[in-house]
Structure 1
């Protein structure tokens, strides 16, 4: 029934099919890179959770196409309950979508079991955290073996993939970029051991070479402790010290090794940000961020980073949740307009142009601003000096309303 023997496993060679949920890779730096160990890196955790929380907070709607070419929210469809407020018995919609995107961001695949009514309607979604083996059947459709059990068909599984080389199984960003992530882990491990085993001094007290040595260690300790007590800490900053017997205090600055370590740590953060196409300022790297470009970078994040993930989720949901007979009438969509609005003055200037030239009504603008509609707010304006381009100019006659409006202005 299955062609699993034709394919190797992503994480366990020789197992057949493609395997999700376990495994990792050893980087060239010697680190074992897995989704769990990689998530301990602050930059990677920031990127993964930023994508997950951004998608989870977006409004998700099930729409119905009307005969007039408009759309309306399909609240009467049973799928609406699952999407809007109850994906399963213990998770909120935010938690479910957040977990799914975290799984996709770490393992390249987010997989859930679909519970259906006898008529095929989706009633619940259960996220899968066990190892999943993806097999290809004779009908070229994927089948899923969860934790070694009998394979189940595609219609019982919701699967969101990252980029794929075989069209059945997404690549894991962690395994694919194990060297870059392992390099970051190795640098942080080196920094931790340096703090644990190394010595970092703020300065040294030097005595002249011709001075007689202090033979008792207790005398040396007493001298250093007295110095620290009088001049150490922020409360003793800027005090004046008097040194006797030709002694001098020599402060120690940061070494080149320390400076290179800081630069290497920053470079690894930027490398991880590149993996997920996240602007550096969104993970705390503000070196090149300015007030003039940070807003546009945020919009670029939505368009080039967030939207591809959103489209993966939307189209996977329409494929897995809607019956073939429903797909021409219904569709699922995230509302990202709130993330693209920019600052208030820019929005209001754009609304003014759209209102004056007639492609937005008052209620259209109020909906974009999450405000309730008002009576008479569905009127679309048209400038008086504009005519229908499809009509010859000689056939255009002013309407009674236009004449009355002009007479009112003249009077």
Structure 2
């Protein structure tokens, strides 16, 4: 059961009144400029290039997918579709909005956008919220999901139908605030905490080794025991002669000079990088080759390379966004009329020219593509007559396979003269 606006306000007031004497639906003070990633989680995002690369890949992929409102496979242009496809709020384009929302989901485990209404209670914008200030809660009497937001002057409560919420897999245990089981996503950064700490310690140890490593380049061996003053004199003479002669050294009798061979970077650091890359890819449900690991992978085309990424990684994320937008930006009557938001993932699966050409050729000859539809996919203008479907004449209807056989037999019969008996 979905609550209407009056019921939402009434329940919200009852919840707030139990905890605060002065509160309300005043959201103006929430949106002062601030760095939403100014936290421990954000610091890891800014200092670990593997996690940064994974989140960048996911957020850019989601933001690059065309998002439109459809009705029976036909794009619909109205106020809500224009808002979501062009400018979800006065400060952002659709690309920036989706990308930032996905970055928050992949960093904090949850991404929130508040629905803002005009005077006619029509959605006019979607404003992003700091995930660290939002907590899902369940109202005791109605069991409706609400979101407790830490505002500047207190806590505010927003009904779930007024909040766009995308998340990673949800917490399955008892949470601190009420009982929000299944409503708050787990942060991938927290899952990777041990991996990140181990990677950081190995890198720090390697850098410390480089900084504190012995800077000598040669071992100078003498056959006799020398006093401290004599050693200093010989060492200074060695340095001066080496510098004055462009690096050329004369080895005298009784003296042995051996260069010191050392590795600048421990090869184990690269093994740690592979482990980190593999674990980050696993947590974000990505193919490891999408993070730069090409060893052991073989793909015959770009289409195959992206197929695994789209099917295994993007489709569940895309489905979550679509259902969230459909449920909270469309009314029940609009959904019953066939309206639905849809991301076009085919943009990532177009393949190379040869593969696309064969795909389009089969589609047109088999009657499930019109030439103008193919031209639209290739961003070419339509042509007159290109809106028709075509079928190959060598194909027979599936419900009458004998008709073509009769026509072929009649066509192949030998011709006879009119007067022959």
Q: Normalized against structure 1, the TM-score is what?
A: 0.77
- Is 1:189 paired with 2:198? no
Q: CA deviation at 1:293?
A: 6.9
How do 1:4-403 residues align onto structure 2 when only pairs under 5 Å count?
34-65=41-72, 71-75=73-77, 77-129=78-130, 131-137=133-139, 138-147=141-150, 148-164=154-170, 165=172, 166-196=181-211, 198-199=212-213, 201=215, 203-210=217-224, 215=230, 217=232, 220-221=235-236, 223-224=238-239, 227=242, 242-245=250-253, 246-254=255-263, 258-290=266-298, 292=300, 296-328=304-336, 329-391=338-400, 393=402
What SS class does the counterpart of residue 326 from structure 1 fall into?
A: helix
Q: CA deviation at 1:139?
A: 2.9
Structure 1 regions of 5+ residues with no counterpart?
5-20, 25-32, 66-70, 233-239, 404-411
Residues 216 and 260 in structure 2, CA contact (< 8 A), matched pair in contact too: yes
Q: Distance between the aligned counterparts of 2:220 and 2:63, measured in 1?
A: 61
What SS class does the counterpart of residue 127 from structure 2 fall into?
A: strand
Q: Distance between the aligned counterparts of 1:229 and 1:306, measured in 2?
A: 64
Residues 79 and 121 in structure 1, CA contact (< 8 A), matched pair in contact too: no
Q: CA deviation at 1:55?
A: 0.9
Q: CA deviation at 1:388?
A: 1.9
Q: Distance between the aligned counterparts of 2:339 and 2:377, measured in 1?
A: 22
Deviations 1:202-235 (A, max 9, x none): 8424334338577364752563465467667xxx
Provide closer, same or farther for how the CA distance between residues 194 and 385 of structure 1 changes in structure 2, counting only shifts above 3 A.
same
Give the length in aligned residue pairs.
359
Provide closer, same or farther for how the CA distance between residues 88 and 346 of structure 1 changes in structure 2, counting only shifts above 3 A.
same
Residues 110 and 161 in structure 1, CA contact (< 8 A), matched pair in contact too: yes
Residues 62 and 318 in structure 2, CA contact (< 8 A), matched pair in contact too: yes
Q: CA deviation at 1:304?
A: 0.8
Residues 131 and 146 in structure 1, CA contact (< 8 A), matched pair in contact too: yes
- 2:18 equivalent in structure 1: none
Q: Distance between the aligned counterparts of 1:160 and 1:313, measured in 2?
A: 7
- 2:7 equivalent in structure 1: none
Q: Distance between the aligned counterparts of 2:191 and 2:168, measured in 1?
A: 12
Structure 2 regions of 5+ residues with no counterpart?
1-10, 16-35, 173-180, 412-421
Q: Distance between the aligned counterparts of 1:375 and 1:319, measured in 2?
A: 39
Residues 356 and 383 in structure 1, CA contact (< 8 A), matched pair in contact too: yes
Deviations 1:40-95 (A, max 9, x none): 21000100111011111221111123xxxxx32211x1112211221111112111
Q: CA deviation at 1:191?
A: 2.8
Q: CA deviation at 1:145?
A: 1.2
Q: Distance between the aligned counterparts of 2:43 and 2:55, measured in 1?
A: 12
Q: Which runs of 4+ in 1 moved over 4 A?
A: 21-24, 211-214, 228-232, 394-398
Residues 203 and 269 in structure 2, CA contact (< 8 A), matched pair in contact too: no
Residues 310 and 334 in structure 1, CA contact (< 8 A), matched pair in contact too: yes
Q: Distance between the aligned counterparts of 2:332 and 2:245, measured in 1?
A: 80
Q: Distance between the aligned counterparts of 1:345 and 1:50, measured in 2?
A: 26
Residues 106 and 173 in structure 1, CA contact (< 8 A), matched pair in contact too: yes
Provide closer, same or farther for how the CA distance between residues 392 and 44 of structure 1 changes in structure 2, counting only shifts above 3 A.
closer
Q: Distance between the aligned counterparts of 2:159 and 2:244, measured in 1?
A: 73
What SS class does the counterpart of residue 382 from structure 1 fall into?
A: coil
Deviations 1:290-334 (A, max 9, x none): 563765233211221122211111111111211122112311111
Provide closer, same or farther for how the CA distance between residues 379 and 231 of structure 1 changes in structure 2, counting only shifts above 3 A.
farther
